[in-house]
Structure 1
């Protein structure tokens, strides 16, 4: 089973580092779609990923079109957006063997053409407070990956193998 996390035009190095650490902890691959709002060589990215960054399976794509052409080979895509009407926990994230969790940039989310083209695959995280417009990107990544793991575990108890904490 493969899980892919995609950050489309991420802007904040700390979020990318934290997302990378979560991907490493859960066995997911991190895909970054350029342009990025920072350099991957920045000390802050490595620091946010702590000493794990060198072990993160990171793939950098030059643009959305190049990535989208390969998307069918990666798995079933789910696009996270505050504009979606279906909640992510109603999506069968644990069923496909290969899944792709796609997130937009921190300040604007997914580009409009992507939202339009993939409207049928858009999901949202519930936010009950009218004072909160969205969750932090790295928080959203973690919540989505662990919801996938939860659904997988319910489908096949004992899988995936988790460390005692």
Structure 2
């Protein structure tokens, strides 16, 4: 990761969800690639294929890998795995990069949408529902 996960601000941003995470640390990309079991998608503005054209309903785990907002993923890694690259359409004339958290949200919710939001509450009752 490009940031320390044990940082005080990071822990505060995670609120009370940290105990619900199952985090695995890898020493490098090669170790991750050797242990990864599933479908890998490299999200990059340089990819040819648009993310919405991908089928995220195939069986198995789906991994989305994002780089830093300013640099993206390492170029040599991208070249070695270019067939796994997906991009979000944008206008380079006005936007150089997208906010990383927004990009993660877009990708995850597109996959969930294609999977009919399996595991999520499609109908939810709130105790103090302001719309009822």
Q: 1:52 aligns with which of 12, 17, 32?
A: 17
User: 1:89: Cα distance to partner?
Assistant: 0.6
Map of 1:89 onto structure 2: 52
How high is the TM-score relative to the length of structure 1?
Answer: 0.68
Would you say the 8 A contact 1:78–1:102 is kept in 2? yes
The higher radius of gyration belongs to 2
How high is the TM-score relative to the length of structure 2?
Answer: 0.83
The count of corresponding residues between Structure 1 and Structure 2 is 123
Unmatched tracts of structure 1, length 5 or more: 1-8, 11-36, 154-158
Aligned-residue RMSD, C-alpha:
1.7
Q: 2:104 aligns with which of 129, 141, 156?
A: 141
Q: Does 2:65 align with 1:107?
A: no
Map of 1:25 onto structure 2: none
User: 1:101: Cα distance to partner?
Assistant: 1.0
Higher strand share: 1
Would you say the 8 A contact 1:80–1:103 is kept in 2? yes
Unmatched tracts of structure 2, length 5 or more: 126-132
Map of 2:118 onto structure 1: 160
Higher helix share: 1
